[in-house]
Amino acid sequence: MRVTVFGVGYVGLVQAAVMADFGHEVCCVDIDDKKINNLKNGVIPIFEPGLAEITRDNVAAGRLLFTTDAEMGVAHAEIIFIAVGTPPGEDGSADLSHVLAVAEVIARFMDGRKIVVNKSTVPVGTAGKVRQKITGVLAERGLALSFEVASNPEFLKEGSAVDDCMRPDRIIVGSDSDEVRRKMKELYAPFSRNHDKMILMDTRSAEFTKYAANCMLATKISFINEMANLAELLGVDIEQVRLGIGSDPRIGYQFIYPGCGYGGSCFPKDVKALERSAQEVGYQARLLQAVEAVNGKQKEKLFTLINRHYSGNIAKKTFAIWGLAFKPNTDDMREASSRVLLESLWQAGATVQAFDPEAMEEAQRLYGNRPDLRLMGTKEAALPGADALIIVTEWKHFRVPDCSLLKKHLKDMVIFDGRNLYDPAVIEENGLAYYGIGRGRSIQKW
| Planar angle of CA 415, 418, 419, nearest 5 degrees | 115
Residues ≥6 apart with Cβ < 8 Å to 123: 93, 94, 96, 207, 211, 273, 277
Within 10 A of 304 (CB to CB), how many other CB atoms are there? 13
Catalytic residue among 27, 28, 165, 266: 266
| Measured distance CA(55)–CA(47) in Å, rounded | 12
| Measured distance CA(36)–CA(28) in Å, rounded | 9
| Measured distance CA(93)–CA(441) in Å, rounded | 42
E strand or H helix at 201:
strand 198-201
Strands of the sheet containing 198-201, edge to edge, are: 64-67, 25-29, 2-6, 79-82, 114-118, 147-151, 171-174, 198-201
Residue 27 is a catalytic residue: no
What Cα–Cα distance (Å) separates residue 189 from each residue in 24, 47, 170, 182, 197? 11, 28, 12, 10, 9
Q: Where are the alpha helices (DSSP H) in 77-146?
A: 97-109, 126-140
* 326: nearest Cα among 105, 135, 47: 47
| Measured distance CA(37)–CA(44) in Å, rounded | 10
| Measured distance CA(248)–CA(235) in Å, rounded | 23
Residues ≥6 apart with Cβ < 8 Å to 111: 75, 145
* 273: nearest Cα among 225, 214, 217: 214
Which residues are tagged catalytic? Answer: 266
